[in-house]
Amino acid sequence: MINLSRFSLEGKTALITGGSRGIGRATALGFAEAGADIIVSSRKMEDLEKVADEIKSLGRKALPVAAHVGRMENIKALIEVALVQFGKIDILVNNAGTGPMYHTCLEAEERLWDAIFNLNLKGLYFLSQAVARVMKGEGGGKIINVASIDGFTPQENVGIYSISKAGVIMATKSMALELAPYNIRVNAIAPGAIDTKLLNQMWALLPETERKKEKGTFSQGIPMKRIGNPGEIVGAMIYLASDASSYMTGETVLIDGGVILRGL
């Protein structure tokens, strides 16, 4: 018989970066419904406060913290305020990241590389390091990284983004190996096409009629014939954040509507 209480996050505190919209917001609300108190972080406090109000309406504590996790001084401040308010961090979701920027390897400049890697990989790694030090002292925890299907199979003209997400997958494995002795599990989720602001930037400059047409055509290239929504990521997030996945570490879960089955 399945013990559904193993999926509970009751009594846990979760820090979620990129928590003001899309997958981050959906995860924050899902974790709150599962019983966790939430620290949500992104760059704009106004957007974070709205999510924090939604979390509080679910009966959970919420702390919005404006921070840019690609900047080391922001990481330190984020951890400090989280510990002052909650005293611990049981779960970290590294969701903050920048989306694809379209340049070939012949055109890309160093500043593009730095902008993408600072947020997608450097910030993820050093925030995980800081939180893992806290978790080690508390006897364990869970870290969940958000990679991308592009980390498995690159798309044309977004090479730097794809390389950064492949790095997230390897960082997940490396951290999982090193942190396993401290009861800190590290896993990742690799979404495919999810209906977020980052995805919709692909068609942002098109007229509305043409935008809908192009989005529909894009959807037909997915085996499930549709784009996913952020809420469809939450179940896997709760699984990885809970005791239900207690013997799983170093893995990356693809959630892509079947795209990887036929290649991009």
pLDDT in tens, 89-128: 999 999 999 877 778 899 989 999 999 999 999 999 999 9
Q: Per the residue annotation, which of 161, 182, 239, 247 is the catalytic one?
A: 161
- Which pLDDT score is estimated for 218? 83
Sign of the torsion angle spanned by Cα atoms 43, 162, 202, 112? positive
- Which pLDDT score is estimated for 175? 98
| Number of neighbours of residue 148 by Cβ within 10 angstroms | 30
What's the pLDDT tens digit per position in 140-189? 999 999 999 999 998 888 899 999 999 999 999 999 999 999 999 999 99
- Which pLDDT score is estimated for 263? 67
Question: CA 115, CA 238: separation in Å to the nearest integer?
Answer: 30
**Is pLDDT of 264 > 70?**
no
- Is 125 marked active-site? no
Domain 4-194+230-256 indexed as CATH 2.10.70.10: no
Answer for the pair 138, 11: CB distance below 8 angstroms, yes or no. Answer: no
What is the rounded average pLDDT for all residues in the chain? 93
- Which pLDDT score is estimated for 1? 61
Question: CA 123, CA 98: separation in Å to the nearest integer?
Answer: 11
In the chain, the N- to C-terminal Cα span, in Å, equals 39
| Number of neighbours of residue 260 by Cβ within 10 angstroms | 15
Per domain, the residue ranges of the chain are 4-194+230-256, 197-228
Tell me the whole-structure pTM to 2 decimals: 0.94
Answer for the pair 2, 19: CB distance below 8 angstroms, yes or no. Answer: no
Question: CA 193, CA 224: separation in Å to the nearest integer?
Answer: 11
